[in-house]
Amino acid sequence: MYSVIQCDTEMLKKYDIAGPRYTSYPTAIQFSPQFTEADYRQEIEASNQSSKPLSLYFHIPFCSSLCFFCACNKIITHTKARSIPYLERLHKEIALQAELISASRQVNQLHFGGGTPTFISDEQLYQLLQVTGQHFNLAPVDKREFSIEVDPRAVRPETIPMLREFGFNRISFGVQDLDEKVQEAVNRKQSLEQNMEVVETARSAGYQSINMDIIYGLPHQTLDSFSHTLDVVISMRPERLAIYNYAHLPHRIKAQKLIKQKDLPSPVTKLALLELTINRLQEAGYVFIGMDHFALPEDELVKAMEQGTLQRNFQGYSTHADTDMVGMGMTSIGKTDNCYSQNQRYEKAYFQAIDDNKLAIMQGYQLTPDDKLRREVIQHIMCEGIVDFPRLDQMFGIEFTHYFAEELRLLKPMEEDALVQVGDQSITVLPFGRLLLRNIAMVFDLYRPRYITDQLFSRVI
């Protein structure tokens, strides 16, 4: 049975600070341009020894219109032909990356993200997958987790069943909010019919899991309006729901300057929206996975949570343990045991690198032994909710209570506030603490003093 989380508004307020989402540790702000293509090549070669399976990510950056809240790296254009030179480079990058990777390593996870992957034509999507299959060893259909982000406003009716035939078994729809006034304020008009149609099509096409992305904290959202959005979304029964907190950072994200501060819900309303969401989704039978993710009990994400195999990566929570990630396309991020690497952010630099037969590495990070230990601890907090000291002592040759004496001291107030329970052998995240995983994880983050400026990350609530 899953523990139901009771909200405590005062306590949420107390812990509403800025902090990372820990899709990686260390976080991307530690990445440095001193990490070069040569470093990446060396790390990939070393990772081949492990024969770990792979997770591939492809970034398709194009969108037909700008959503004002969006922090993704995207190119807004109506010109479909813009994608042709980009895909030429992407195909070449696939070949360049595959040359480095042992053919015995199977790709059991693949994700098309963006931007809007379905901005490109069905033919281009097909080619992209074909080229990937020519260069990488794709897992058999029953062992795959292939997913794609789909914009219900910009998808052709035949594309959803076609992608299923290509082997995609998970699909994610960006919904955000159903209220017209909210949609207008963020420049994303999307009718209920459009949303219902894509969900029905995905169901008939036989996708194993449908995800919907919703955002709370958008301009003009009220408890009434958001309650309606939640009711409608719940009635469509997506297996997974990602309910993101809108982070208003106009000094860093230019598009957000188009959102008026005065239209945003107050911090009190935002908290109430979060509380409403948690209560409403739990009442409707959804299980809270962690951070901003919910899933129906029969979904694999819940099973992975029960079995302790849940993982956190750049796409949020995942069921596939222990893969190395290869990111392709602008801005995408890769990961091996020892490093993170990130591609060029801008099209021009990305094209230039690929045209010069180079990988488009812009920056990266080589993990120290301490980083790896802390990554493991943070992963256990975010995914399992338990940090088992003897297990980590054995894995890393440390004495946990001695190594993390200061961190255990910093956890004391959280223990008093019933976020965690600290025993002689373990730390257990308590039900309410699961709402504040970032705060708990931050205690173990060596680089946290850098975050205090409040400008680097969104707030927790």
Report the interface residues with ligand SF4, using CB under 6 A: 63, 66-67, 70, 72, 74, 114-116, 151, 174
Instruction: Identify which of residues 53 and 114 has a Cβ nearer to ligand SF4 in the complex.
Output: 114
Nearest CB to ligand SF4, comparing residues 66 and 258:
66
Alpha-carbon distances of 215 from 14, 110, 155, 164, rounded to whole Å: 22, 25, 21, 27
Task: Give the shortest CB-176-to-ligand SF4 separation in angstroms.
Answer: 7
| Nearer CB in complex with ligand SF4: 149/445 | 149
Q: How far is the CB of 99 from ligand SF4 (least distance, A)?
A: 30
Shortest distance (Å) from residue 116 CB to ligand SF4:
5
Residue showing tokens 């035949």? 158
Q: What is the closest distance, in whole angstroms, from the C-beta atom of residue 202 to ligand SF4 in the complex? A: 18
**CB closer to ligand SF4, 72 vs 408:** 72
In whole angstroms, how close is the CB of 401 to ligand SF4 at the nearest point? 45
Report whether 278 contacts 218 (CB < 8 A). no
Helix axes 122-135, 83-100, angle to 10 degrees: 10
Min separation Cβ 171 and ligand SF4, Å: 15
Could you identify the residue written with the tokens 């979060």?
Answer: 274
**Residue 255: C-alpha distances to residues 181, 260, 364, 409 (Å):** 18, 11, 26, 41
- The helix or strand, by DSSP H or E, that contains position 440, with its residue range, turns out to be helix 437-442
- Closest approach of ligand SF4 to the CB of residue 258, in Å: 12
Q: Which is nearer to ligand SF4, 145 or 151 (CB)?
A: 151
**C-beta closer to ligand SF4: residue 18 or 70:** 70
Closer CB to ligand SF4, residue 5 or residue 76? 76
Backbone angles phi and psi of 293, in degrees to 5: -110, 135
Nearest distance in Å: CB 188, ligand SF4? 6
Looking at 284-368, list the stretches that DSSP marks H as alpha helix, in order from N- to C-terminal side.
300-307, 347-355
Closer residue to ligand SF4 (CB): 51 or 191: 191
Helix (H) / strand (E) containing 229: helix 223-236
Tokens representing 155? Answer: 């998808």
How far apart, in whole angstroms, are the C-alpha atoms of residue 440 and residue 419?
8
User: Whole-number minimum distance, CB 366 to ligand SF4, in Å?
Assistant: 30
**Cβ–Cβ under 8 Å, residues 194 and 169:** no
The CA distance from 370 to 373, in Å, is: 5
**Is the CB of 26 or the CB of 174 nearer to ligand SF4?**
174
Which of 111, 98, 134, 47 lies closest to 335 in space, CA to CA? 47
Instruction: Report the residue number, 80 or 358, with the smaller CB distance to ligand SF4.
Output: 80
In the complex, the smallest distance separating the C-beta of residue 115 from ligand SF4, rounded to whole angstroms, is 5
Question: Does an H or E element contain 110, and which?
Answer: strand 106-114
- Is 90 strand, coil or helix? helix
- CA-CA distance, 254 to 32, in Å (whole number)? 23
Q: How far is the CB of 255 from ligand SF4 (least distance, A)?
A: 8
Residue with smaller CB distance to ligand SF4, 35 or 69: 69
**DSSP character string of 312-330:** EETTEEES--S-EEEEEST
Phi and psi at residue 144, to the nearest 5°: -90, 150
Q: In angstroms, rounded to a whole number, what is the distance separating the alpha carbons of residues 408 and 415?
A: 10
DSSP conformation class of 179: -
Structure tokens at 372: 């790896």
**Burial of 84: CB neighbours in 10 Å, binned 0-12, 13-18, 19+:** exposed
